């Protein structure tokens, strides 16, 4: 089975992160967002609209 090693960008801090190693995954609307740490996750959850574009 092949792992998904896709590299994504944390929408809050802009850091490149591996999808499989992300600290958290949040869904907003119909899209998934991957976050690198608890601080980025809490920041995203407070104002997701600020980070989705």
Write out pLDDT tens, residues 7-38: 999 999 999 999 999 999 999 999 999 999 99
Partners of 17 in the β-ladder: 8
Does pLDDT of 4 surpass 80?
no
| pLDDT value at residue 45 | 98
Does pLDDT of 53 surpass 90?
no
Residues 6+ apart with CB under 8 A from 41: 23, 24, 26, 35
| pLDDT value at residue 3 | 61
Positive or negative CA dihedral for 34, 51, 47, 30? negative
What count of Cα atoms within 13 Å lies in the side-chain half-sphere of residue 29? 7
| pLDDT value at residue 5 | 80
DSSP 12: T
| pLDDT value at residue 43 | 98
């Amino acid at each position: 089975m092949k792992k998904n090693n896709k590299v994504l960008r944390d929408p809050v801090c802009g850091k490149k992160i591996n999808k499989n190693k992300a600290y958290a995954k949040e869904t907003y609307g119909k899209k998934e967002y991957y976050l690198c740490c608890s601080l980025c996750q809490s920041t995203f959850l407070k104002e997701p609209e600020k980070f989705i574009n």
